[in-house]
Structure 1
């Protein structure tokens, strides 16, 4: 028995938020390598252009749309730009994220609100806009975190709250849209990955976390690609409302 080419994303169009750095860059490259054209959004235009060049090196097309996803109108503008340029939208990866490390009682209220706006509310607004454009069905992938399930010993109350909320949003939108619109909505919960966001973490704490991971190391951005391409593609046609954990075994340790 031969397997069908169900992981193939040739000629599909994907929006990736937070595509200027970290996991977003790798996600954009991975989807492009699988055949998709990529719409890249984030606030930092020059870094988005760098990601666009990496996408184009795979032979696929890239569209840079600078946007602050904390602004609902900007979210809609990203999706409209995708539809105008490519005539369709098949995949949305809600990857944009932020979060400060520190005790909850010392966190300014506006910082807490901003974290939820970028990590959770933006995913809602982008998803709603994308659902209107996914006229032939599609796949929405929310990048959550293992911190939605457990503590890693790092005080990040706003970040963990936003990621836990993202799992709830994933389940609800899957229930609303899979049957009616043919849009699957799933989440990926990465463990501890070495990215731009972790550069400010205490080195000793990172070593302690790594020692707890059965795989024996922090995640690398490319470790996430299999899960992303799977959920974006027809290989996961019967998967919706689910969260796929990619954490090197952290949650079972």
Structure 2
């Protein structure tokens, strides 16, 4: 996705979970687009997140705690005086079948992936309203189809997409709210999900576009939703999944079909 120049010049963005992986890719894209970027995570980045000769700043916060979320955006207001975009990226889950681990562990996954973005959005709302800004939720295809082994995560992401649509109605016209629905992304942690390089190549072959997304692909989509080029886009879910997943029935239906 090509955008014209520094479309976010003078804007301020907070990227939660922005110290590595997809979040760091989003942060770099915002820096390249001209925004001042604040990273939020429980732990600082292991190396600077920088692009276009500029570096993102960092503020620690556990956004599951409403007081911590309020404190984060009070700090943003003191440092920058405004907030134009909140990217709710923080989240994730280990592989854990529902019958394992107990309800409390699954509830923590829902808390991280659904309640924390809601808490952050509520804390950021006064600043976003004043700037007529936007929220970008980072969703997942896991919330659109069965997600065995990550059922709590999938349920949380489904809820996140619904939350974004409701927020878009309640907070209009001052604040736009949209969701990026991600497929598989290649990050420095991809091997934990897809195995070694051979496994990653095999998984990538199942994607219609023939590769996993790069964090920069997600970042470009997030910049678009945060920009004035998307000024009439709210309550939308933008699929960033390379064409989706090839339906399994196609192989079964054509296995004996002559060419």
Between the aligned partners of 2:68 and 2:235, the Cα distance in structure 1 is 26
2:141 corresponds to which of 124, 127, 146: 146
SS in 2 for 1:200: helix
Between the aligned partners of 1:6 and 1:207, the Cα distance in structure 2 is 33
Q: Verify the 8 A CA contact 1:7 1:235 in the aligned structure 2.
A: no
Alignment of 1:19-38 (within 5 A): 19-38=18-37
Q: Verify the 8 A CA contact 1:7 1:230 in the aligned structure 2.
A: no
CA displacement 1:31-83 (0-9 Å, x = unmatched): 01101001111011243xx3xx333x534463311111221211111111111
Between the aligned partners of 1:59 and 1:76, the Cα distance in structure 2 is 30
Between the aligned partners of 1:126 and 1:19, the Cα distance in structure 2 is 14
* Match of residue 228 from structure 1: 222
Q: Verify the 8 A CA contact 1:35 1:60 in the aligned structure 2.
A: no
What is the TM-score normalised by the length of structure 1? 0.88
* Match of residue 101 from structure 1: 95
Q: Verify the 8 A CA contact 1:39 1:63 in the aligned structure 2.
A: yes
Q: Verify the 8 A CA contact 2:194 2:203 in the aligned structure 1.
A: no
Between the aligned partners of 1:22 and 1:219, the Cα distance in structure 2 is 12
| Higher gyration radius (CA) | 2
SS in 2 for 1:70: coil
* 1:183 correspondence with 2:182: no
Between the aligned partners of 1:102 and 1:20, the Cα distance in structure 2 is 25
Q: Verify the 8 A CA contact 1:7 1:233 in the aligned structure 2.
A: no
Instruction: Give 1:133 shift.
Output: 1.2
User: Which 5+ residue runs of structure 1 have no aligned equivalent?
Assistant: none
CA displacement 1:150-181 (0-9 Å, x = unmatched): 246x52011101100100100000000122xx
* Match of residue 121 from structure 1: 115
2:49 corresponds to which of 54, 66, 69: 54
* Match of residue 191 from structure 2: 199
CA displacement 1:170-209 (0-9 Å, x = unmatched): 0000000122xx1000000110112355432253875664
- Structure with greater proportional helix content: 1
CA displacement 1:218-246 (0-9 Å, x = unmatched): 21111212211100100100000001000
Between the aligned partners of 1:221 and 1:24, the Cα distance in structure 2 is 8
Between the aligned partners of 2:245 and 2:226, the Cα distance in structure 1 is 24
What is the TM-score normalised by the length of structure 2? 0.86
1:214 corresponds to which of 189, 193, 208: 208
